[in-house]
């Protein structure tokens, strides 16, 4: 099936079928590279979400009782189908998100790490067993799926994040409802059909498109047992507070302000190269993107800014159809306007413009949502551009006098997603690792996002709830444990009544 056909079939995916929306409400889907509306996605009404949840609830018991090996086999087949259809999926991602083909391919590769871990769900579902804990009693534990669960995913990773949120949930036996961003619904619909072709029973995988009305029903509906969310910090907090008020498990991942500390002993050419890719890749629309360089010492800062200026001025922004571009547009015109607003206000507050990307050359010939790379120097902690996550290619330089000052500034920030240090000094790196109050830490690694078999999650207001994305904790989050104490009686056992509290002192 071609991408053009997919554009014409933007529906929901419920009980194994594409289902037209019934609410009468729609949202435009844009090609950010051209600024054109390429589709309309239905926004589900409350009753449509309820119906989807009911279909998932009916399908759940059979899937729960399917052997873990059979479930893993279906997940493995899904992985094979993703690889077989990778080029078409790349095209879908690029069309609706504006990413370059290289970036889209990288997203799929990282997303498949979560699928790979889910294939190993039988191992992660193993319980414990203890013989004769007391009185000839054996004790053991089991893990069971929790039922219908929901994932609410963002626009910036239409494949990687949904795979990370849902693969393990499916593999351990749950029925999963995905509410993708209404800005990028086509990728979710594309791989929904791959789940069906892989042999996943109808109703176990659902895609419901929508806005706050759909989200609020997922949060309130008593059948939905857990919510995984990725998005902005204010919405993550709302999801967490609302979901937990309905006694659901919630793991809500928010934004980040991720700094790269640059020490005087760092190789500045290599550091600058690392900064460029981590800061501006995907038009800086990553929650783990480097937000800015925090440079120790004036001389180091002056040298690094000079190197960065030359590199940034040579970056090329454009459509994914141009193989030579470094990154593409931001997702919408509203996003573009918001980034320009941050730049304008920072200048008013005293920031120095090193490179100005507010009006790139391509805007003279294209209506796409393009911004060139911007670099702002002499940023202070009181400025809005320091305090807020800027989801677009406007990056900052903060000058500090010492490593301790850098650590203190980062620890005082309300967000704590990722942070990295570039240095050749082991003592500095160790101090940094031990004292920094951030969930994911890099040492000479520009984007410290863990591989799929390690837990992903920030600290402070970058994450709400105790669950993680990626990693073995996914199996814990999407299962419930049962502990069983078992004893088989024989003729020699005493039958007298005892009122003492049971203990392991008995034979």
Q: Is the pLDDT of residue 84 over 50?
A: yes
Local confidence band at 165 (pLDDT 50, 70, 90 cut-offs) = very high
Residue-by-residue DSSP string for 431-444? HHHHH---SEEEES
SS3 (DSSP) at 357: coil
Give the model's pLDDT for residue 452. 74
pLDDT tens-digit readout, 370-419: 999 999 999 999 999 999 999 999 999 999 999 999 999 999 999 988 99
Give the model's pLDDT for residue 113. 94
pLDDT tens-digit readout, 212-231: 999 999 999 999 999 999 99
Give the model's pLDDT for residue 451. 78
pLDDT tens-digit readout, 262-275: 999 999 999 999 99
176 forms beta bridges with: 149, 205
Contacts of 20 (CB under 8 A, 6+ apart): 11, 12, 42
Q: 207 or 490: which carries more pLDDT confidence?
A: 207
- Determine contact, residues 187/82, Cβ cutoff 8 Å: no
Q: Is the pLDDT of residue 152 over 90?
A: yes
The CA-CA-CA angle for residues 486, 489, 491, to 5°, reads: 165
Kind of pairing between the strands at 374-377 and 258-262: unpaired
The b/e string for 96-114 (b: 16+ C-beta within 10 A; e otherwise) is bbbbbbebbbebbebbbbb
pLDDT tens-digit readout, 420-448: 999 999 999 999 999 999 988 999 999 88
Q: What percent of the chain has pLDDT over 90?
A: 85
Residue 364 has a CB neighbour count (10 Å cut-off) of 7
Q: Is 408 left (phi over 0), alpha (psi -120 to 50) or beta?
A: alpha
Q: Is the pLDDT of residue 309 over 90?
A: yes
Give the model's pLDDT for residue 2. 44
Alpha carbon distance 428, 313 (integer Å): 32
Give the model's pLDDT for residue 369. 97
Give the model's pLDDT for residue 453. 77
Local confidence band at 135 (pLDDT 50, 70, 90 cut-offs) = confident
**Burial bucket for residue 403 (CB in 10 Å: 0-12, 13-18, 19+):** buried
Nearest to 468 by CA among 229, 127, 232: 229
Local confidence band at 489 (pLDDT 50, 70, 90 cut-offs) = confident
Segment 287-306 mean pLDDT: 95
Task: Give the tokens for residue 114.
Answer: 């979560």
Q: Is the pLDDT of residue 490 over 90?
A: no
Catalytic residue among 204, 235, 279, 287: 287
- Determine contact, residues 373/280, Cβ cutoff 8 Å: yes
Task: Give the tokens for residue 250.
Answer: 């919630």
Q: Can 287 be counted among the known catalytic residues?
A: yes
C-alpha atoms less than 13 angstroms from C-alpha of 300 in its C-beta half-sphere: 24
Give the model's pLDDT for residue 507. 54
Nearest to 214 by CA among 253, 170, 176, 177: 177
Q: Is the pLDDT of residue 158 over 60?
A: yes
Nearest to 275 by CA among 266, 171, 245: 266
Q: Is the pLDDT of residue 3 over 50?
A: no
Task: Give the tokens for residue 62.
Answer: 């059979």
Local confidence band at 56 (pLDDT 50, 70, 90 cut-offs) = very high
Give the model's pLDDT for residue 4. 45
Nearest to 170 by CA among 245, 96, 63: 63
Taking all residues of the chain, what is their mean pLDDT, rounded to a whole number?
Answer: 93
Local confidence band at 469 (pLDDT 50, 70, 90 cut-offs) = confident
Q: How far is CA 127 from CA 142, 197, 459, 481, 482, in A?
A: 5, 31, 29, 9, 9
Domains of the chain, earliest start first = 3-254+462-483 (3.40.605.10), 258-443 (3.40.309.10)
Give the model's pLDDT for residue 6. 47
SS3 (DSSP) at 178: strand
Residue 4 has a CB neighbour count (10 Å cut-off) of 9
- Determine contact, residues 206/151, Cβ cutoff 8 Å: no
Give the model's pLDDT for residue 457. 81
Q: Is the pLDDT of residue 188 over 60?
A: yes
Local confidence band at 9 (pLDDT 50, 70, 90 cut-offs) = low
Give the model's pLDDT for residue 5. 42
Segment 495-504 mean pLDDT: 68
Give the model's pLDDT for residue 35. 95
Segment 139-144 mean pLDDT: 93
Long-range contacts, stretch 355-361, CB < 8 angstroms, 24+ apart: 355/308, 355/309, 355/312, 355/313, 357/317, 357/393, 357/394, 360/317
SS3 content of the chain, % helix, strand, coil (to 5): 40, 20, 35
Residue that has been written with the tokens 């009693």 in this structure: 137
Residue 332 has a CB neighbour count (10 Å cut-off) of 17
Q: Is 132 left (phi over 0), alpha (psi -120 to 50) or beta?
A: left
Give the model's pLDDT for residue 8. 61
Nearest to 248 by CA among 142, 363, 149: 149
Local confidence band at 7 (pLDDT 50, 70, 90 cut-offs) = very low
């Amino acid at each position: 099936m071609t991408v053009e056909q997919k554009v014409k079939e933007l529906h929901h995916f419920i009980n194994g079928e594409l289902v037209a929306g019934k609410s009468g409400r729609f949202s435009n889907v844009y090609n950010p590279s051209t600024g054109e509306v390429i589709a309309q996605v239905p926004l589900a009404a409350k009753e449509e979400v309820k119906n989807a949840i009911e279909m998932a609830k009916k399908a759940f018991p059979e899937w729960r009782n399917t052997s873990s090996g059979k479930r893993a086999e279906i997940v493995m087949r899904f992985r094979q189908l993703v690889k077989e259809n990778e080029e078409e999926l790349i095209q879908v991602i690029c069309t609706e998100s504006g990413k370059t083909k290289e970036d889209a391919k990288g997203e799929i590769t990282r997303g498949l790490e979560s699928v790979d871990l889910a294939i190993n769900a039988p191992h992660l579902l193993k319980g414990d067993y203890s013989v004769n804990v007391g009185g000839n009693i054996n004790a053991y534990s089991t893990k069971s799926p929790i039922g219908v669960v929901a994932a609410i995913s963002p626009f910036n990773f239409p494949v990687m994040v949904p795979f990370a949120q849902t693969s393990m949930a499916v593999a351990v036996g749950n029925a999963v409802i995905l509410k993708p961003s209404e800005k990028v619904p086509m990728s979710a619909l594309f791989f929904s059909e791959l789940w069906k072709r892989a042999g996943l029973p109808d109703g176990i995988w659902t895609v419901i498109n929508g806005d706050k009305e759909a989200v609020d029903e997922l949060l309130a509906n008593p059948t939905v047992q857990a919510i995984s969310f990725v998005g902005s910090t204010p919405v993550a907090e709302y999801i967490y507070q609302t979901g937990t008020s309905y006694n659901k498990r919630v793991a809500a991942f928010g934004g980040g302000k991720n700094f790269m500390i640059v020490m005087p002993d760092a190789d500045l050419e290599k550091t600058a190269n690392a900064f460029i890719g981590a800061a501006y890749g995907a038009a800086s629309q990553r929650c783990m993107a480097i937000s800015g360089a925090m440079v120790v010492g004036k001389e180091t800062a002056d040298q690094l800014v000079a190197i960065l200026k030359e590199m940034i001025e040579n970056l090329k922004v454009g459509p994914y159809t141009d193989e030579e571009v470094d990154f593409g547009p931001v997702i919408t015109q509203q996003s573009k306007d918001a980034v320009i607003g941050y730049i304008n206000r920072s200048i008013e507050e005293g920031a120095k413009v090193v490179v100005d990307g507010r009006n790139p050359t391509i805007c003279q010939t294209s209506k796409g949502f393009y911004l060139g790379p911007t670099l702002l120097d002499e940023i202070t902690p009181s400025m809005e551009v320091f305090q807020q996550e800027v989801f677009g290619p406007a990056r900052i330089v903060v000058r500090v006098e010492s490593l301790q000052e850098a650590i203190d500034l980062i620890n005082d920030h309300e967000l704590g997603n990722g942070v990295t240090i570039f240095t050749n000094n082991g003592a500095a790196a160790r101090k940094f690792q031990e004292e920094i109050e951030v969930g994911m830490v890099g040492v000479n690694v520009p984007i410290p996002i863990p591989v799929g078999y390690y837990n992903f999650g920030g600290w402070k207001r970058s994450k709400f709830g105790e669950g993680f994305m990626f990693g073995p904790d996914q199996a814990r989050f999407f299962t419930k444990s049962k502990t069983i104490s078992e004893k088989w009686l024989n003729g020699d056992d005493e039958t007298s009544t005892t009122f003492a509290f049971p203990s392991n002192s008995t034979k």
